[in-house]
């Protein structure tokens, strides 16, 4: 049995921003993961998004394939992607997903136009989770001893490359069920700045321990807390902070039971240059990564995972 990680819970309704940002700093250094409650995304809306997601994935495969991934939007079937790009296994991850990006460019694909509330539910969720993520990013800035609007100023939040994914892990119930040797999502770190994850409560998510005192290092369960976002640091934030904040490896085991999750990746705007923060490097601790343009980095990571290019 793996242990369950004990992670701090950040209450976004708290007016004590200093205490919140201190907790975030500690969580990002020790685990790269924390929970967020009172984030302003209503429970009712979350329930609706999961309902819509169930309806979408229950469509026949031919129907879903009409919306197959194009410019990083749309449907990706079971085994189509493999998040662990270092593994030699040829089999992809046992999950199907549907991705949405910024609404403004009109590139999103909308199945189920027959159901009137479908699109508005997803768009409302998109807006609300973006607002929670933006608030969080200002706390992350404070946690790094930066001005609150730092990420705004460096174009990390304006016209962001945002991605919302509906995910479905079919579990054993599906006729095309996941075999023992595949993962729901194989070991990976997320690409962007922070990720806000909501699950239906079915277990499966694990994070790789950063606690070097634990030998051997272990995979630890990250349980869901009802209504709370599970937030984790992505690789661009790790680059910005010169590895002070950790982009932790995580994975989803192939669940026995069917499992749904909704993932929201905060990514910097396409022209944002991600380079080591001054406060995170010194003569004895030089920058470990060269500066990089957000879109270039993003394209390369997507290409490695899905073989696509935006
Ligand atoms: C991801 C991810 C976890 C989950 O999509 O990057 O880690 O619980 N998802 O679905
Ligand atoms: Ni992930």
Looking at residue 56, its pLDDT comes to 94
- For the segment(s) 9-306, the CATH number from 3.10.105.10, 3.50.50.60, 2.60.120.330, 3.40.190.10 is 2.60.120.330
Q: How far apart are CA 100 and CA 110, in angstroms?
A: 9
Does residue 1 register a pLDDT over 70?
no
Looking at residue 82, its pLDDT comes to 77
Looking at residue 215, its pLDDT comes to 66
What does the pLDDT look like over 153-162, one tens digit per residue?
998 887 777 7
Joined together, the tokens standing for residue 95 give 């999950």
Alpha helices by DSSP H, 42-87: 43-57, 61-65
Give the C-alpha distances (Å, rounded to integers) separating 105 from 80, 120, 195: 25, 17, 22
Domain ranges within the chain, ordered by starting residue: 9-306
- DSSP string for residues in 158-171: SSB--EEEEEEE--
pLDDT confidence tier of residue 179, bands split at 50, 70 and 90:
low
**CA of residue 114 to ligand 2 center, whole Å:** 31
Is the CB–ligand 1 distance for residue 53 below 6 Å? no
Predicted TM-score of the model (pTM):
0.93
**CA of residue 76 to ligand 2 center, whole Å:** 16
Segment 175-194 mean pLDDT = 81
Of 4-8, 55-59, 171-175, the poorest mean pLDDT is in 171-175
Q: Which of 158, 191, 211 is nearest to 29 (CA)?
A: 211
pLDDT confidence tier of residue 288, bands split at 50, 70 and 90:
very high
Looking at residue 128, its pLDDT comes to 96
Which of 204, 234, 252, 265 most suits a substitution to test ligand 1, by most atoms within 8 Å of the C-beta? 252
Is the CB–ligand 1 distance for residue 52 below 6 Å? no
**CA of residue 232 to ligand 1 center, whole Å:** 10
- DSSP letter at 278 equals G
pLDDT confidence tier of residue 309, bands split at 50, 70 and 90:
very low
């Amino acid at each position: 049995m793996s242990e369950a990680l004990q992670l701090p819970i950040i209450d976004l309704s708290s007016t004590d921003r200093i205490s919140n940002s201190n907790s975030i700093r500690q969580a990002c250094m020790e685990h790269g993961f924390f929970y967020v409650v009172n984030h302003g995304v209503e429970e009712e809306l979350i329930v609706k998004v999961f309902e819509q997601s169930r309806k979408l994935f229950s469509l026949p495969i031919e129907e879903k394939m009409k919306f197959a991934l194009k410019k990083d939007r749309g449907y990706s079937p079971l085994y189509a992607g493999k998040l662990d790009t270092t593994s030699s296994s040829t089999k992809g991850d046992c999950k199907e997903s549907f991705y949405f990006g910024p609404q403004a460019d009109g590139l999103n694909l909308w199945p189920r136009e027959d159901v009137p509330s479908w699109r508005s539910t997803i768009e409302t969720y998109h807006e609300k989770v973006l607002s929670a993520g933006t608030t969080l990013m200002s706390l992350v800035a404070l946690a790094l001893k930066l001005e609150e609007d730092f990420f705004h100023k460096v174009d990390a939040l304006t016209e962001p490359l945002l991605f919302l994914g509906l995910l479905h892990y079919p579990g054993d119930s599906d006729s095309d069920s996941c075999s023992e040797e595949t993962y729901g999502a194989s070991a990976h770190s997320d690409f962007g700045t922070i990720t806000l994850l909501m699950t239906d409560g079915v277990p499966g998510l694990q994070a790789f321990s950063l606690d070097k005192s634990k030998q051997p290092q272990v995979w630890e369960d990250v349980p869901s807390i009802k209504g709370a976002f599970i937030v984790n640091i992505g690789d661009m934030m790790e680059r910005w902070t010169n590895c002070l904040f950790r982009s932790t490896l995580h994975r989803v085991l192939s669940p026995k039971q069917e499992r749904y999750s909704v993932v929201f990746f905060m990514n910097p705007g396409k022209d944002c240059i991600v380079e080591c923060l001054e406060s995170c490097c010194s003569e004895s601790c030089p920058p470990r990564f060269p500066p990089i343009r957000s879109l270039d980095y993003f394209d390369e990571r997507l290409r490695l995972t899905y073989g696509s290019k935006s």
